[in-house]
Structure 1
């Protein structure tokens, strides 16, 4: 759905990053945030290459009505005209039927208030989201449907109170998401700043938060998210607390913020929207202290961003050797046909080839050979190319890597989606001991990095990561027609990245998609027993145990998850069968 990334073929396996000698001595002014307004007027049309799509803007109110609603509708229509999407605006809740919602990539709740949908309309919207639909909540969307638990989870948090309209400092926490990438590290603006009943940080990726010391009336104990995103039950949910004032909708920075939220919710761009806590900055954008140059070339430092130039060299984090399990996250952007990479597990050295010969490179270069393209462990293991392509943003847009090391296992996530799984077996190398480096590949390779952070002791987030379950012939485990009724068929289907193929393999042994569980019909044990989708109930019929041989066993029956028959095409049903470790019983889990 997104414009494909084209990048030049890699020239060398281990091109290492170099920070130009002058970069670490750049004056502070060069690393100061660029004013958002100076970057956003033209940015509103940057996304015009998106394929045409439609969104529904819903602004029904059953409580307080904001005077800015009309301005918001006009702003979204203007953004749509400039960026290839059509806006249907309505206050008629009868628009919430399965058939009507199916035509929209995202539904925007624009300062809705109170109970705006009846039970049938709620069900239609839930099914829409679970089938992969997008949600955008603006301002009073958090003051809506207090008695509908699904909606509270979708919105992320509900309204508690607000002080008077006033200026406040917004701290931009994530500058990789399309809704915030155009902003500096802080954003000064005037609005009506909501307090929320709960803090969404544990369930959503916080994109921006309020500095409660910069205004009066904040009551969230200093941790005050104001914009966030999350994957939710198969769909995508974005919320921003801004948008009370009429003036918000003529502000270029806020309009670009809305555009990014719409694009992400509609699936036109990707981002890592998993919750994130516990990370420590290795590069926070203000200084390269603790980093050291090896080899020629370098980086410029401006607007909190390191941008490669020349090479072949490496900028490496000399201040600390990383040991044990850890999760490294960083944001990166390629300008076009560019090459770079991230090195792990190499010894301290001012020779950039030390990282090549003793560590591992996670490549950035989308068109090289399979084992040396974006997401590959260079020269050792290709990424899952289909998963990589589905998650990868095109040139000019930001991407996020998570490189998760557990023992000698390296899992690579691109924009929150797992794309590679590699285990080091070379006794001369170690993923869990060594330094981290960034690569500048050479003249003409323009790759930028931001927000490099690490979490010692393991993964990016508590809990399992949703993703595809892949079986025989590279097909994905799929919920037939994205339906959510109990008894829905589970089948093989060509992988497509929809919510019907997004499975969460939980620690309690369940496998969930679309808010329901993978289930053995009737708790049976006979060969050929149907495997289906069913309301989660904690029984043994819904427990699954991955085995070292690649099979997935239902312990209660002692049988395996099996793709039926001997020819495995789209629509092939899965069922229970005596374990035999054949290709149709081998599964790759997220």
Structure 2
């Protein structure tokens, strides 16, 4: 039996604490060196000394040494090579000459790290590579005030300690561009919580990779008090460890059109914990799931979502995943059942169609009986759905058209006996994710085999169909499908003797 720890299960409220640094994050990190660069050619922040002191304290507690400098001559290939990451601590203006820029770009592309803090976005406007590195340049800011931060990704080591929202006081930058398409946004500002935001979708902390190097930027850190806040200093530590390659994090862009979401990369959660599984994608899942737990994801394009292919494992009771829009009790978009898969490291795919919705926040709510129901590795949203009427086959063996008033179009593929089949051409199976079938039966029911290319071709999936009570009573069910390079889908029918069932229509879902 897997036991949920009382500490992780508890609901923790994050508040600013007047302490310089958090507890050590990892005493096991191999020793490394960090360069803190704070040269300014424009506005100079009074918080820079506080920031240097905080990073030095972090280093003493976490096995890295800190060199702090405002001398751009440190940016040579030979000198940079000794550092695993470089922190631009509220730098401003043009701080590096051409040769120093070349050395730093080579350092990053070759595998070095960069952490930009606050005014690092107000730096090197004329250097295109730096714009790519930092992710977005400064535009303007309102007065210092409290705002609410939405923590979009709590799987990254820099944000794993935070709750779903974070209220704090700082100077909130507006940026010239939105970095979401090229970086993974870890946290964003809720503009309705303060005055002066101009971006709408307003990222405030993000990360990315550039060739072999790693980049992390946060707009937080203007105030002197920031560097006494445990939550903020912990964010800096996670950023340093990530860019120094002492810990990994997913920094691939997660744009509104994204289709694949890792279970553990939630924006917010209730009750769920990250579970380690070597056979999971990325080695981790959303795990320790009990009834009524939930996870959510922001920035999701639900307007074009048509279905969800979900990768799960369970040595428990299994259960159900509800897909909801906007909140844990929001509009129900679809549900999918999760079976016992035979082990926590045995993963299977399940599929459900989804209703479209204008919300950009998706909630997965978990239902079942008992505890530790199942683990969720990842889910993929399908974006296309192609429907074919059962009777609109391109070729067939044994079927006849049957008239049924309640059927779509009033007809079905009917009089189905064992080993009959129907073929449908012009379908894209290369990105297939799942299929939904509508049928009726007053007979024995049976099984539909979905095959590629011919009635004896590669088996892509199977669906058991039951007696529905009458030939005019229709039901629907869905199954995942394997992909194929073929453009012809064959439905092959299996069962006992006599008329087994009728097929009204099917909908093929693809990425």
1:317-396 matched pairs, under 5 angstroms: 317=321, 348=337, 352-353=339-340, 355-356=341-342
- 1:105 aligns with 84
Instruction: Give how far 1:409 is off.
Output: 7.5
Q: Which residue of 2 aligns with 1:314?
A: 318
- 1:64 paired residue among 43, 46, 53: 43
Q: Give the conservation status (yes or no) of the 8 Å contact 2:431–2:510.
A: no
Q: 2:218 aligns with which of 235, 240, 243?
A: 240
Report how far residue 286 of structure 1 moved. Answer: 5.3
Alpha-carbon spacing, 1:69–1:317, altered in 2? closer, same or farther (3 Å): same
Distance 2:161 2:144 in 1: 24
- CA distance 1:400–1:255, shift in 2 (3 Å): farther
Distance 2:213 2:376 in 1: 20
Distance 1:62 1:245 in 2: 19
Deviation at 1:313, TM superposition (A): 2.6
Equivalent positions of 1:186-585 (< 5 A) are: 186-220=165-199, 222-278=200-256, 285=269, 299=290, 312-317=316-321, 348=337, 352-353=339-340, 355-356=341-342, 426-428=459-461, 434=479, 458=511
In structure 1, list runs of 5 or more residues that go unmatched. Answer: 1-14, 20-29, 289-296, 321-345, 365-371, 379-398, 412-422, 437-455, 459-590
C-alpha distance in 1, partners of 2:376/2:178? 24
- Deviation at 1:311? 5.8
Number of aligned positions between the proteins: 327
Work out whether 1:183 is the aligned partner of 2:162. yes
- SS of the equivalent of 1:163 reads coil
* Aligned positions of 1:96-135 closer than 5 A: 96-135=75-114
C-alpha distance in structure 2 between counterparts of 1:74 and 1:42, whole Å: 10
The alignment partner of 2:214 has SS state of strand
Report if aligned partners of 1:204, 1:229 keep a CA contact under 8 Å in 2: yes
Give the Cα–Cα distance (whole angstroms) in 1 for the partners of residues 58 and 232 of structure 2.
12
**Partner residue, 2:125:** 146
CA distance in structure 2 between the aligned counterparts of 1:160 and 1:251, rounded to whole angstroms: 26
Shift of the 402–90 alpha-carbon distance from structure 1 to 2, 3 Å rule, reads farther
Aligned residues of 2:21 and 2:57 also touching (Cα < 8 A): no
Residues 120 and 32 of structure 1: is their aligned pair in 2 closer, same or farther, counting only changes over 3 Å? Answer: same
Higher relative contact order (CA 8 A, sep 6+): 1
Question: For the Cα contact (< 8 Å) 2:462–2:479, is it kept in 1?
Answer: no
From the two aligned structures, give the one with the greater strand fraction. Answer: 2
Change (3 A) 1:105 1:348: same
Q: Distance in 2 between matches of 1:36 and 1:85?
A: 27
The CA deviation at 1:135 is 0.4
Q: Report if aligned partners of 2:17, 2:229 keep a CA contact under 8 Å in 1.
A: no
Is the contact made by 2:19 and 2:228 (CA closer than 8 Å) also made in structure 1?
no
Seen in structure 2, the aligned counterparts of structure 1 residues 457 and 213 have a Cα distance that, compared at 3 Å, is farther
Contact 2:21 2:58 in 1 (8 A): no
Show the counterpart of 1:576. Answer: none
| TM, length-normalised to structure 2 | 0.56
Contact residue 39 and residue 92 of structure 2 kept, 8 A: yes
For 1:254 and 1:51, how far apart are their aligned partners in 2? 23
CA shift, 1:35, in A, is: 2.0
The answer on whether the counterparts of 1:316 and 1:435 sit within 8 Å (CA) in structure 2 is: no
What SS is found at the alignment partner of 2:318? strand
> Could you tell me whether the CA contact under 8 Å between 1:31 and 1:301 is conserved in 2?
no
Q: Provide the rounded CA distance (Å) in 1 between the counterparts of 2:380 and 2:24.
A: 36
Q: Give the structure-1-normalised TM-score.
A: 0.49
Cα root mean square deviation, aligned: 4.2
Contact 2:59 2:65 in 1 (8 A): yes
8 A contact 1:53–1:104 mirrored in 2: yes
Determine which structure has more spread, i.e. the larger CA radius of gyration.
2
